[in-house]
Amino acid sequence: MPELAEVDFFRRRWNPGLGDPIEAVAAHRTKRVFRDTRVRDLLRWLPGQTLRTSESHGKQMVFRFSGGSWLGVHLGMTGSLRVESASWNPQPHDHLVLRQSARSLVFRDPRLFGRILFQRAGVPGWWTDLPVEILSADFTADHLCGALTARRNAVIKAVLLDQRLFPGVGNWMADEILWRAEVHPARRVGSLAPQELRSIWKQTRFVARRAMEVIAPDWGDLPRGWLFHHRWSDGGACPRTGAALVRETIAGRTTCWSPGRQGSS
DNA sequence: GGAGATGTTTCAAG
DNA sequence: GCTTGAAACATCTC
């Protein structure tokens, strides 16, 4: 489910817990979300530490604690974060619950594609080794074009889903960007004109910025004119041209585009 | 019951 | 070496 702005929305949901100590931790320790984690360390070291800060970077989140610990959360396809009462009885998919005196911070993930990371002290490699964020000043058109030269034979839709190049972009954002840039999703990167590359860069920034403004604070509704509202089911019409939208698998993912507007591959 | 799903990783094949 | 495609992960919804 979650892409850039949805991830940040879920990060903020644990905000009520900032400044309060963790009193206990409950984990479904055999679940796949802990495949890269020593659950024993997490259970041993987190209690007693105060939740200090949280940040998101693309689809990755990190929560930092007073004792120097780092908790990483990736939501995968179906992960979510929420707050429940202090006495919350974890449901079958609530794989990690951080208990505070006034509430429980809950991580849920039915499909288990998500991932929990934990490091007791010191900046973890998974948090330092991160690509340039889309909304940072360093994500310039030149930066993007430079990164794309190594991928000139790849299909643009696949490249937009590459988290090293477009951190936070997922399936709906990729389709939204290409629809706005008027580029067919199956185009090879090397076939794109400089102005098309620039348009993809510009629309990437636009979609990311607007999504962060609308979705991250309270899961608000994007404007009706966005492809987002029309791409999910068969029979949708392009909000700009009125033509029937096409849905097809490209780069292994369901892809929606507006024929005519987005040319051909 | 079957298909498909807003993700990532891995492996085989071209 | 690069790219693609499929499979795997596990569950829910349409």
A84, β-bridge pairs = A104
Q: Residue A122 has what pLDDT?
A: 93
Q: How far apart are CA A239 and CA A129, in angstroms?
A: 39
Q: Which nucleotides in chain B have some atom under 7 angstroms from a protein Cβ?
A: 4-9
Q: How far is the CA of A113 from the C1' of C8 (A)?
A: 11
pTM of the model: 0.95
Residue A229 CB closer than 7 angstroms to strand B?
A: no
Residue A65 CB closer than 7 angstroms to strand B?
A: no
Residue A109 CB closer than 7 angstroms to strand B?
A: no
Residue A94 CB closer than 7 angstroms to strand B?
A: no
Q: How far is the CA of A163 from the C1' of B13 (A)?
A: 24
Q: How far is the CA of A90 from the C1' of C7 (A)?
A: 32
Q: Residue A1 has what pLDDT?
A: 64
DSSP A184-216: -TT-BGGG--HHHHHHHHHHHHHHHHHHHHHHH
Q: How far is the CA of A141 from the C1' of B8 (A)?
A: 27
Please check whether residue A260 is in contact with residue A237, taking contact to mean a CB–CB distance below 8 angstroms.
no
Residue A230 CB closer than 7 angstroms to strand B?
A: no
Structure letter (DSSP) for residue A191: G
Q: How far apart are CA A80 and CA A2, in angstroms?
A: 8
Residue-level pLDDT, tens digit, chain A, 265 residues: 689 999 999 999 999 999 999 999 999 999 999 988 999 999 999 999 999 999 999 999 999 999 999 999 999 999 999 999 999 999 989 999 999 999 999 999 998 889 999 999 999 989 988 899 999 999 999 999 988 888 888 899 999 999 999 999 999 999 999 999 999 999 999 999 999 999 999 999 999 999 999 999 999 999 999 999 988 777 789 999 999 999 888 988 889 999 989 987 7
